[in-house]
Amino acid sequence: MSLISYWRRLDYLCYSDSFLGTNTMFDSLSERLTRTFKNLRGQGRLTEENVQNALREVRLSLIEADVALPVVKEFIEQVKNKSLCQEVSTELSPDQAFIKIVHDELVAVLGGIRAELNFKTQPPAVFLMAGLQGSGKTTSTAKLARYLKETENKKVMVASADIYRPAAIKQLQILAEQIGVCFFP
């Protein structure tokens, strides 16, 4: 499975915004990386110059997707080391080899394995969403609620504790109604 297909599948399964009508972080990241990888097509081999150019675009893509700068720097360094040190298989073109390296590093950064949510607690299980204003907590809460309802067959209630932003409370209420979960004002 290609890196782009992997992201789109992950995006669809866990982060789909079809009920919100907006693009997701994975969509914009996928589009930008697709353009970057197209620039590597037709190259005879991975050279330091074309790897640097591709890594510059990957770095910008990750930063635009709000990935923390220390994570971006470490990720780029790992990809650079593997790209320049690895012999390209005769079965893979340079762009395919680079995509595989980026994919493998993304999987490593994201943890490599899927961790299940722990529901082995005295009900109700509570999930607290915390973050900076405008970082996507309300939307992520609705996505998580929909995932728990549809995939895990859980009864879900969402509540907003943001007393300073009444519009965020209303937004969560509207999203809860759209996905069919309970809302506590």
State the fold for domain 3-109.
Four Helix Bundle (Hemerythrin (Met), subunit A) (1.20.120)
pLDDT for the residue numbered 43: 60
Rounded distance between C-alpha atoms, residue 51 and residue 18, angstroms: 35
Q: Is the pTM of this model over 0.75?
A: no
The per-residue pLDDT string of the chain (185 residues; one tens digit each, 9 = 90 and over) reads 444 444 444 444 444 444 444 445 556 666 777 777 776 666 666 677 778 888 888 888 888 777 788 988 999 999 888 887 765 555 677 777 777 888 888 888 877 777 788 888 888 889 888 877 777 888 889 999 999 999 889 999 999 988 888 888 999 999 999 999 999 98
Residue pair 26/34 in contact (Cβ under 8 Å)? The answer is: no
Tokens (6 digits) for 88: 């390209």
Please, where in the chain does CATH 1.20.120.140 lie? 3-109
Residue pair 105/79 in contact (Cβ under 8 Å)? The answer is: yes
The 3-class SS string of the chain reads: CCHHHHHHHHHHHHCCCCCCCCCCHHHHHHHHHHHHHHHHCCCCCCCHHHHHHHHHHHHHHHHHCCCCHHHHHHHHHHHHHHHHHCCCCCCCCHHHHHHHHHHHHHHHHCCCCCCCCCCCCCCCCCCCCCCCCCCCHHHHHHHHHHHHHHCCCCCCEEECCCCCCHHHHHHHHHHHHHHCCEEEC
pLDDT for the residue numbered 82: 85
pLDDT for the residue numbered 9: 46
